């Protein structure tokens, strides 16, 4: 059985920077194609073979991450499952959200959110780059505007 504090360690794992970076790395390679293909097949209840293969790769990646966590906990598959079920009794929403991320529709939403977030980040970077001040407070965007 899991050691005391399993729920907190599971939460910490799912919210860890390493786990997020793994997912973001995967999404950076595949999200655009998944969204493009998902829009093509939207409403038809089916998706291209390529998108299905990417989703399966995503599931395998998530499963691999969870298996590593399970190993660090020193739990067998059965013990891990029981421990997660115990967490589900106390924090059902956390486990529901974790499991929901394994469904294709949720995966497509994650891809869409990733692309929207990336676009927002690029826009913020572009705004920041539009006006650059050097160490002396010189603003390259204002050059020549104060001179009359």
Q: At what angle do helices 49-73 and 17-41 cross, to 10 degrees?
A: 160
Asked if residues 40 and 48 have their Cβ atoms less than 8 Å apart, the reply is yes
Distance CA 19, CA 15 (A): 7
pLDDT of residue 120: 77
Torsion on CA atoms 62, 66, 71, 74, rounded to nearest 10: -170
pLDDT of residue 44: 56
pTM: 0.71
Q: Which residues are 139's β-sheet partners?
A: 133
Token code pair at residue 13: 């794992």
Q: Which residues are 133's β-sheet partners?
A: 139
pLDDT of residue 41: 55
pLDDT along the chain (148 residues), means of 10: 89 92 94 83 68 93 93 94 89 78 83 87 62 50 49
Using only C-alpha atoms, the chain has a radius of gyration, in whole angstroms, of 22
């Amino acid at each position: 059985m899991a050691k005391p504090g399993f729920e907190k360690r599971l939460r910490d794992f799912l919210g860890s920077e390493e786990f997020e970076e793994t997912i973001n790395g995967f999404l950076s390679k595949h999200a655009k194609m998944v969204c493009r293909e998902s829009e093509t097949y939207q409403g038809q209840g089916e998706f291209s073979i390529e998108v299905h293969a990417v989703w399966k790769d995503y599931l395998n990646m998530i499963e691999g991450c969870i298996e590593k966590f399970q190993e660090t906990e020193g739990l067998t598959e059965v013990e891990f499952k029981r421990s997660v079920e115990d967490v589900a009794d106390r924090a059902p929403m956390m486990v529901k959200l974790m499991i929901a991320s394994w469904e294709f529709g949720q995966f497509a939403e994650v891809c869409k959110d990733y692309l929207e977030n990336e676009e927002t980040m690029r826009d913020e970077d572009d705004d920041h780059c539009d006006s650059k001040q050097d160490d002396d407070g010189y603003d390259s965007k204002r050059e020549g505007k104060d001179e009359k």
